[in-house]
Amino acid sequence: MKNNGPPYVRAIGPLKAVAGVDVTVYCPFSGYPIEQIRWEKGHHELTSNSHYSLAPVQQGGYIVIKNVEPTRDQGMYTCIVKSRAGEEARRDMQLNVNSLLHKPVTTRYVQSNANQLNSRCYSNRYLRPFIYSRNNSFNFCKEGRYPTAERCKGPPVIEPFKFPKNLQEGGRAQITCAVSSGDMPIYFSWKKDDMSIPTTLQITEKKEEFFSLLVFKDISAKHSGKYTCYASNAAAKVNFTAELQVRVAPRWSFEPMDTAIMLGNTISINCEAEGYPIPAITWFKGQDVLARAEI
């Protein structure tokens, strides 16, 4: 009989957004199979409309909040994940929305013979200024008394993830590696124990723009190990590792057998078992448990 991985939503810290832009909120869930992902704000269920866009569960179930405003959009959001068996898991996420105190200055061009460029960007004490071009591709990254400019790219930031506990041999599971920020395009890849994942494990990978999903349809002991997700773009390559430990019922690797011996001679009887966690072996003589000193 195959066991499904129960739904689980990992806790994350407060999310930050800037007023006037779109923000994407991801639900860091795990479990398999997942049938539905819902979102609530203040105990009211959210649906796709002109302000909210909800992705289907096959694409990660994230929500896009368009043109965020502090008074309307700041608050507690709840992600609710439901399995095919009817089990539910939920997690609250605080979204904080900040507004700029002054409108940023747009620099349209710089003279080639100029030796200094002064540009000011004002913000409140909760925000770190970021200077960017209108096409979002060319940024000023240095300051000094000479003309200087660099192409700046934001590195990917992987949201921490982990496998569900108590996964049994023969069950199913999935794990999601999602990035909360970073310039596009972002490329994903996976390794198991620092090696490419063997095709014999029959693990399916599903990729989208902001996340990669591994699906385990028939878990066995050989799936146990450390899985590392790599996310890379033009700025950097980052990674995060989670360990999968599959619980395996004890089974004989060397089963004891009836043995005959002459009186007074020494006898050796082998008894070996495998499984996870490592099985505890106890010897009996009749109905009595043998102490280690007697063996």
pLDDT tens, 164-202? 888 888 899 999 999 999 999 999 999 999 999 999 999
Output phi, psi for 79, to 5 deg.
-100, 130
Same domain, 165 and 86: no
Q: Is position 138 within any domain?
A: no
Same domain, 201 and 242: yes
pLDDT on residue 256: 81
Q: Is position 38 within any domain?
A: yes
Beta bridge partners of 120: none
pLDDT on residue 142: 46
The answer to whether the beta carbons of residues 121 and 132 sit under 8 Å apart is: no
pLDDT on residue 162: 93
Residue 164 sits in a domain whose CATH number is 2.60.40.10
Same domain, 161 and 224: yes
pLDDT one-digit tens code per residue, 221-264:
899 999 999 999 988 999 999 999 998 878 788 888 878 878 87
pLDDT on residue 104: 54
Q: How many residues does the chain have?
A: 295
CB count within 10 Å of CB 206 equals: 14
pLDDT at residue 138 is higher than 70: no
* Domain housing 215: 153-246
The C-alpha atoms of residue 60 and residue 161 are separated, in whole angstroms, by: 14
DSSP secondary structure string for all residues of 115-144: S---------TT-------TTSS-B----S
pLDDT on residue 148: 46
pLDDT one-digit tens code per residue, 105-129:
555 544 444 444 555 555 554 455 5
Q: Is position 161 within any domain?
A: yes
pLDDT at residue 32 is higher than 90: no
Same domain, 29 and 57: yes
pLDDT on residue 120: 58
pLDDT on residue 21: 92
pLDDT at residue 39 is higher than 60: yes
Same domain, 81 and 52: yes
